[in-house]
Structure 1
């Protein structure tokens, strides 16, 4: 990577405005997770709804200030995507292996937040689509490619791995490395509990998504539903599923509240 690109990335990384928007992006992520948790809780108790990003964004759009909040969320997600791209571009310390891992993780986060920003933009401009259907459609399209079943299987394993990492990050409290102490002190016990609960619950949800994608590959079924909404409703279909879904909903709500703390205390 050229020095000019690294210098440009370093200057962008020192932008107070970009940092503020990126912190708003973490808060926006918290709001979305709270709405997903609310919908999932309603489904667990016999209600209906689409418990994923699109469902949360559509619910948000129906509020009196929904349009303004959606634009703020879109800007925050876009800023987070740019922030992580900058993080991938600037020099990293450590071994070559560690640098490669850190850059790859930063690019992955940039893709995730970029996709969230794009989805939010589509909703606020009236072009929103069902994210569950989009995920299923993407799986079906990939299935038709040469060695498509293998590719879908690999995607499933990757998502499963990301879910497992979230569980590990929560249980091992690795997320504390992302935070700076409150007022120069230690991160509060409440934030720590929220992080452990939230990361674990989100990891379980992502793990089920990965398993559904893997199942689509094994069965060569391009119509297998593979999104977050399908994953949570698959959980509901298990014995005592409504209890399991309710527990995951509580965990996702914890992740949402933790994200607000991260917006304030994240090490940027």
Structure 2
């Protein structure tokens, strides 16, 4: 029971039998944690990080456009690697290559950091189930965007590699490890699942909420068409890439898993492959155009 103060009102002090708690019922330690978490979340919501993350989305959009152009060129016999490393190599070939490479690194690093904040700081207010899903999805994207950023940095420093070789080396190490073949099958099925997700998202136009303010306008119809074609094309490419992982595990031939570039080039050996490759390339260009609009106008 509180003792009265000088004016007959209860004093602010606690008796020996009561613990000090915050008005919300949190202990001081919990309150400090909430304050620190809130401060970190405020930093993640800063205008600077928003601008850098949007520039990262724009860089990824540009890479999709270049990959699509390379895929289309492959149909007509031109050389090239239809995957991120090949696209970065094309961008590095211009006179401002080093500056473009470092700008790409900063943009992708910022986008990776933004996705990390999505997976952790911003997701802490969600229900537990949704929080776990956000941790997995945004965490995976954070790693993926960070990897692309490192590729930009590698080109800026003169360390150029072939992602197809990297994929083969990774598959070889995985197959030769204990339980390697099942793990490679699991990886392939995961990539296939992501591809199916993109197709479902595109066919169902589930991307509309990202650009909701264009809904019902003529520009909105164009954006919707780009989104449908782009998501389906990317989904098909991911399914082909995942199938190569599964085939590599089933045949014990890790050299057959050559990543996105190898999966697209493999289409050239099939009767309707060139036509499908042309459609996928055009779809990647459409996805890149959609992603540029997402980078500029989409909600963050």
Larger radius of gyration, structure 1 or 2? 2
1:79 counterpart (110, 120, 124)? 110
Q: Report the CA distance shift for 1:180/1:241 in structure 2 as closer, same or farther (over 3 A).
A: same
Matches within 5 A, 1:46-85: 46-85=77-116
* Contact map agreement 1:201 1:251 (CA 8 A) in 2: yes
Q: Unmatched 5+ residue regions in structure 1?
A: none
The two structures have a TM-score, normalised by structure 2, of 0.84
**1 CA distance for matches of 2:254 and 2:281?**
28
**2 CA distance for matches of 1:164 and 1:69?**
33
Deviation at 1:111?
A: 0.9
1:138 counterpart (154, 163, 170)? 170
Residue 165 of structure 1 is matched in structure 2 by 197
Cα deviations by residue, 1:141-170 (Å, 9 ceiling, x for unpaired): 111111000111110011110111111111
Deviation at 1:249?
A: 0.3
Deviation at 1:182?
A: 4.7
Q: Which moved more, 1:87-96 or 1:105-114?
A: 87-96
* Contact map agreement 1:13 1:86 (CA 8 A) in 2: yes
**1 CA distance for matches of 2:200 and 2:283?**
15
Task: Quote the RMSD (CA, aligned, Å).
Answer: 2.1
Q: Unmatched 5+ residue regions in structure 2?
A: 1-29
The two structures have a TM-score, normalised by structure 1, of 0.94
**1 CA distance for matches of 2:230 and 2:40?**
31
Q: RCO higher in 1 or 2 (8 Å CA, sep ≥ 6)?
A: 1
Cα deviations by residue, 1:102-122 (Å, 9 ceiling, x for unpaired): 221110110110111111111
Matches within 5 A, 1:33-48: 33-48=64-79
Deviation at 1:35?
A: 0.9
Aligned residues: 268
